[in-house]
Structure 1
Amino acid sequence: MADAAPALPPVRRVGRTTLAAYGFGAVAYGVKDLGFGTFLLLFYNQVIGLPSAQVGFVIMCALLFDACIDPAIGVASDRTRSRWGRRHPWMYAAALPIALGWLALWNPPDWQGPAVLAWLFASAVFVRSAVSSYEVPSQALTPELTADYDERTRITAWRYIFGWAGGMVMLFVAYRIFLLPTEAQPNGLLNRAGYQGLAIAGATVMFVAIMVSALGTHREIGRLPRPPAATGGFRAAVRELVAAARNRAFLVLLLAGLFAYTNQGVGFALSNYVYGYVWRFESATFAMLAGVLFVGVTIAFFAAPRIAARFGKPKTAAMLVVASGLLHGSPFWLRAAGLFPEPGDPAQVPSLFAIYIFNTACSVGTAILGASMMADIAEHSEAETGRRNEGVFYAGAFFIQKCTSGVGIFVAGVILAAAGFPENAQPGQVAAETIDRLATLFPLLYLTLACSAAIAFLRFPFGADEHRVRVAGLAGDGEVDRSRP
């Protein structure tokens, strides 16, 4: 059956069982993203006691170093030929290394500053490389499961809702089970023992999610495209990578991702600082936060595919990312004008939660559509080059996510340093001028990056009609119009 696999995916609707198993694998990425984006800077800065700028710089260097591995994984995955297809051998092999690396990241030895920074660098590179070995081949399955333009958005939406569900569940258990105040440490976010328990839980969840996804999609292997194996060695692989990277749609989408994911990296890294020190959330408020954010994710899951089907993916992504920037900044600007409820006011938390729901919906909707557009580039490139390079394109997307995540954490560290934010700070005891500087710099940067991403999305060169003509031509139902973008 594998030998008869088509060279082009069918235009079909994917079954719910396969869709659920495939989407469930994104839980691992959600757990990883939550840890890196929300807690890692805080852990090494406030708990371990290292300067925020140094921690942010080391994390950025680790992610930039690791990101260079992603294109190699993408090319290797595209060239893999086995009885388990091109993607599944990588997916199975990544599960255990991810779990072990995650435990190491959150359990640094009792060393001095530079040595701990070296541990952070090495363990972060290991974890992210292992995640790439799973996530790049796994995401490459999206354009291989179906060639249908709108169905790819549906598949991507399932991956995102599972990914966010994994992250939000871990956020909930972090605030309600692991990072609780103690007599010795009244600020639960600084409870080091809690991070050790959280690491064990995260490693277990990631391992299970990857194995369930790989096993649950295993039966699809025989139906996945299996184009002829590329010939040549290292130089041929590099030429293949360069040719794919010249694709105009790919470059435009990478530019949009550069701005959007930098925004996400900054926002995640500063979230606990904003929640704890600007808005002064109580433990009970933190516990509700995961549910509130997931309401926004659910809205994006249902709304993004439907809006995109009407207005097109590029325009919808541009509208959503600008709306996200405006919503994210609104409570800070209202606070500066004296129009937003102060900490302790009963109206503050409901007001913030309402904004967070719609901001999250817009942000996640943007990400869903960006990933769906990346899937459509597979046929766009095949029409130009004669090769299917799904692994290369998703490696490029992952490369940008990692680079911008690292840059985002670094920028967050710089913002904290510029604001004069102290180590081992307690909520309510940070100088008002410091809080004001943080509340000014953060939303201004966020909106600037959001608008830049929108401009890039609007320059994406094709939509649904062009894609369908291209797929029909590649399937032999008509000629591919190479004059179209």
Structure 2
Amino acid sequence: MNAQTAAAPQRLSFRTKFLYGFGSISFGVHVYVLSLLLFFYNQVVGVPAGLVSLALAVTLVIDAVWDPILGQFSDRLRTPWGRRHPLMYASAIPVALTMLALWRPPAAFSVEQKAVWLFVFVLAARLVISLYEVPSQALAPELVPEYHQRTGLLGYRWIFFTLGGAVATMSGYFVFFRPTAQYPQGQLNPAAWGPLTITATIMMVGSIVISALGTHDRIKTLHQPAARQASFGAIFKEVLATLKNWNLGVALTASLIGGLSYGLYLGLQLYVDTFFWRLAASGVGILSLANLVSVLPGAWVAGAVSRRFGKKYACVGFFLLSLIFLQGPILLHMLGAFPDKGQPAYMPSLIAVRFIHGVLTNAAYIVVTSMIADITEDAQVKTGARSEGLLMAANSFIVKVTAGFAAVLPGVILAAVHFPARATAAVSPEAVRNLMWVYLPSTFVLSLASILTWLLYRIDQQTHERNLAMVAAAAAAAEAQGEGAPIVAVG
């Protein structure tokens, strides 16, 4: 496909949007299930929390460096199947092998050997899922250039991302983590984790293959820059020019700060549900179901509110409200102003606030992903290069680096409050309260700083449409001169 066609508005069929979004099931399962690794290796396998957190943090940082390299490679790849699909197809089998190994450390291994096993296979699992996720993310700006349609397409992606993670974890809470006499909280039962992770692996591989095949017919319509030879120095300058973008800087800064909070949240969420809210596996599953049900209204709200107020103010409002509904119930319960377990209003109240939080969070991330995709044309206007893979991977790099450092924090916090490993018996109320008094202010301050950073973002609908027009004009001029790639740079 020539360059100007890539910039032309187009409407995708429901089939294409559905199958494109379907592929994000794989990453949703990956994120949600890997968020259980600290709990699994600490509470089930018996590896100290600090050691698990360190392994998770280091592998996240290594994976973060891998993503921009992979993104740039994908942007420059030239094959009969385009720039993205060969990598997507190549990821399927490695994803299956690494996932199956990760959750099966040999029982005869020492604690240290199990920690090494975790490090090797969680690193491999992160690297191979990026082989699919990075090029798949980069497809979105190419498939839909239009400002609001892009939010709609990414709504499909977010719906299936959340669906994948929720279905995988709920299959654990409702099916595999059934309570037994020995393990009334089934998530502590070692035998339950094998079937769960096999199910997760099947979901991941199936969604990758189905999405890649389902979008294969779009290859001929995607942006295909002309093949060209360039020195390492020229490539490096092009990368720097792409990354030297105000709006990308805002996105990366917000992601850097927010990643610290998100890493804390992911690492401690199951601890909060299990030991603070004192929920059995079925109760945790019900809250996951509430989050799943919130995805569709979240996608609708994202589109409606961003059309009314613009993407920037929509995302800031969504994130602020979601923070209130995430932390408010915990604080109220600690102050005695929230229903206690055993009271009739306990679970209905938890379900209601988790549903509302889910609607707001889903809407916020859909809008933010669309805002980051809009940087593609903004950078292209300034550099003349279309680098979706690099731009999406740059944000992923920051998220993963900060989440990597943040992954150490849950283990540090758990050690500081003397939270026991393999806690089959009740944990002392003092340890739980100490955990919450560290968790709440830490995540609040970081989240608020990240949210306010988004106010510095400058691309609105008018700016985006102007960028599209400039890209299209440059593409037409390049084709009239018989050139394969447009140059748009304006300073």
**Interval of TM-score (by shorter of Structure 1 and Structure 2):** over 0.9
Residue by residue over 1:122-152, the C-alpha shift from the partner in whole angstroms, topping out at 9 and shown as x without a partner, is 1111111111111010000000012101111
Alignment correspondent of 1:91: 88
Q: Which moved more, 1:202-211 or 1:9-18?
A: 9-18
Going from structure 1 to structure 2, the CA distance change for 1:385 and 1:51 (only over 3 Å counts) comes to same
Unpaired segments of 5 or more residues in structure 2?
478-487
Give runs of aligned pairs for residues 9-408 of structure 1, distance below 5 A: 9-37=7-35, 39-110=36-107, 111-408=109-406
- The 8 Å contact of residues 380 and 489 in structure 2, kept in 1 or not, is answered as no
- The 8 Å contact of residues 56 and 407 in structure 2, kept in 1 or not, is answered as yes
Going from structure 1 to structure 2, the CA distance change for 1:185 and 1:337 (only over 3 Å counts) comes to closer
- CA distance in structure 1 between the partners assigned to 2:285 and 2:378 by the alignment: 45
TM-score by length of 2: 0.94
Q: Which moved more, 1:352-361 or 1:208-217?
A: 352-361
Counterpart of 2:170 in 1: which secondary structure? helix
Residue identity opposite 2:92 in structure 1: A
- CA distance in structure 1 between the partners assigned to 2:61 and 2:403 by the alignment: 9
- The 8 Å contact of residues 382 and 489 in structure 2, kept in 1 or not, is answered as no
Residue identity opposite 1:88 in structure 2: H
- CA distance in structure 1 between the partners assigned to 2:116 and 2:218 by the alignment: 42
Residue identity opposite 1:435 in structure 2: V
Q: What is the aligned counterpart of 1:473 among 430, 446, 470?
A: 470
- CA distance in structure 2 between the partners assigned to 1:246 and 1:445 by the alignment: 31
- CA distance in structure 2 between the partners assigned to 1:30 and 1:396 by the alignment: 19
- The 8 Å contact of residues 6 and 221 in structure 2, kept in 1 or not, is answered as no
Q: Post-superposition shift, 1:5?
A: 6.3
Q: Post-superposition shift, 1:15?
A: 1.1
Counterpart of 2:152 in 1: which secondary structure? helix
Q: Number of paired residues?
A: 479
Counterpart of 2:424 in 1: which secondary structure? coil
Residue by residue over 1:228-260, the C-alpha shift from the partner in whole angstroms, topping out at 9 and shown as x without a partner, is 235324443333322222111111101111233
- CA distance in structure 2 between the partners assigned to 1:7 and 1:230 by the alignment: 20
Alignment correspondent of 2:481: none
- CA distance in structure 1 between the partners assigned to 2:305 and 2:227 by the alignment: 38
Going from structure 1 to structure 2, the CA distance change for 1:141 and 1:61 (only over 3 Å counts) comes to same
- CA distance in structure 1 between the partners assigned to 2:142 and 2:176 by the alignment: 40
Residue by residue over 1:149-185, the C-alpha shift from the partner in whole angstroms, topping out at 9 and shown as x without a partner, is 1111111110000110111111111111212233443
Once superposed, what is the RMSD of the aligned Cα atoms?
1.9
- CA distance in structure 1 between the partners assigned to 2:144 and 2:454 by the alignment: 23
- CA distance in structure 1 between the partners assigned to 2:490 and 2:383 by the alignment: 11
- CA distance in structure 2 between the partners assigned to 1:365 and 1:201 by the alignment: 28
Unpaired segments of 5 or more residues in structure 1?
none
- The 8 Å contact of residues 262 and 408 in structure 1, kept in 2 or not, is answered as yes
Q: Which moved more, 1:311-320 or 1:151-160?
A: 311-320
Q: Post-superposition shift, 1:6?
A: 4.1
Counterpart of 1:140 in 2: which secondary structure? helix
Alignment correspondent of 1:431: 428
Residue identity opposite 1:354 in structure 2: A
Going from structure 1 to structure 2, the CA distance change for 1:315 and 1:250 (only over 3 Å counts) comes to same
Residue by residue over 1:273-326, the C-alpha shift from the partner in whole angstroms, topping out at 9 and shown as x without a partner, is 111111111343233222211122222111011101111111111111111211
- CA distance in structure 2 between the partners assigned to 1:116 and 1:435 by the alignment: 27
Residue by residue over 1:398-449, the C-alpha shift from the partner in whole angstroms, topping out at 9 and shown as x without a partner, is 212322332333222222222221111136x211111111222212122212
- CA distance in structure 1 between the partners assigned to 2:50 and 2:294 by the alignment: 31
Alignment correspondent of 2:455: 458
- CA distance in structure 1 between the partners assigned to 2:300 and 2:406 by the alignment: 28
Alignment correspondent of 1:449: 446
- CA distance in structure 2 between the partners assigned to 1:420 and 1:233 by the alignment: 55
Residue by residue over 1:37-88, the C-alpha shift from the partner in whole angstroms, topping out at 9 and shown as x without a partner, is 2x11100110111111221111001110121111110110000011100100
- CA distance in structure 1 between the partners assigned to 2:288 and 2:325 by the alignment: 18
- CA distance in structure 1 between the partners assigned to 2:325 and 2:385 by the alignment: 42
- The 8 Å contact of residues 9 and 145 in structure 1, kept in 2 or not, is answered as no
Q: Which moved more, 1:406-415 or 1:106-115?
A: 406-415
- The 8 Å contact of residues 6 and 224 in structure 1, kept in 2 or not, is answered as no
Residue identity opposite 2:293 in structure 1: V
- The 8 Å contact of residues 143 and 376 in structure 1, kept in 2 or not, is answered as yes
- CA distance in structure 2 between the partners assigned to 1:439 and 1:332 by the alignment: 8
- CA distance in structure 2 between the partners assigned to 1:446 and 1:298 by the alignment: 26
Counterpart of 1:397 in 2: which secondary structure? helix
- The 8 Å contact of residues 287 and 350 in structure 2, kept in 1 or not, is answered as no
Q: Post-superposition shift, 1:367?
A: 1.3
